[in-house]
Amino acid sequence: MSNQNNTKPNTPVPLQGVAADNLRFIRATMESATAFTGVSGKGYVLAGLTAGGAAWIASLQATTDAWLLVWMMEALLAAVVMLMLTSEKARVQGKSLWSGSGRKLMFAFLPTMTVGAVVTLAFHLQGYTQLLPGLWLILYGAAVMTAGAHSIKPIRVMGALFTVLGTVQLLGFTPMNLCLGLGFGALHVIFGILIWRHHGG
């Protein structure tokens, strides 16, 4: 009686499939580790120009409700412009805003902005609307610095300057609309041009 091994040999794994899986893993790892460069400089410039106009229009309003409405409309307009142009720039680069690094940037940015929305509503209802400009600048700066950890260096520098400007405004050294115009207007235009020239679009 022969001592025969009945175990079937292992089925060989196709090398092509293994290589494809490895390539996908490497690509995903590199994508998640790479800074997101799709932030649109053009978007920042346009957002800055609209914010400059909003600062002027807001200064003409007779009531805090009307003043707040102007800035809420500006925030919505700027968000739409930035989202559209950043998505387009990322697409041209062959990436996506919802890629690994882009997704990290968005998730780092949104929580602080959500806090800002809650604070805005609460402070306005409680009659502390005059404190909102400084808080907006500081919270936006903090969100931009946090999100900038997944993006290019100018983003982080811009965020830091927003926090400084917000601190100055909260301490009462500058008028509300002037400070908002300098922050959301001038800083966005300046850094938008820098990003546009040195990082494309």
Residue-range domain boundaries for the chain: 35-199
Residue 132 in contact with residue 124, Cβ under 8 Å? yes
* pTM for the structure as a whole: 0.77
pLDDT digit string (tens) for the chain, length 201 residues: 444 555 555 555 556 655 666 665 555 444 444 567 778 889 999 999 999 999 999 999 999 999 999 999 999 999 999 989 988 887 887 777 777 777 787 888 888 999 999 999 999 999 999 999 999 999 999 999 888 777 788 888 999 999 999 999 999 888 899 999 999 999 999 999 998 888 777
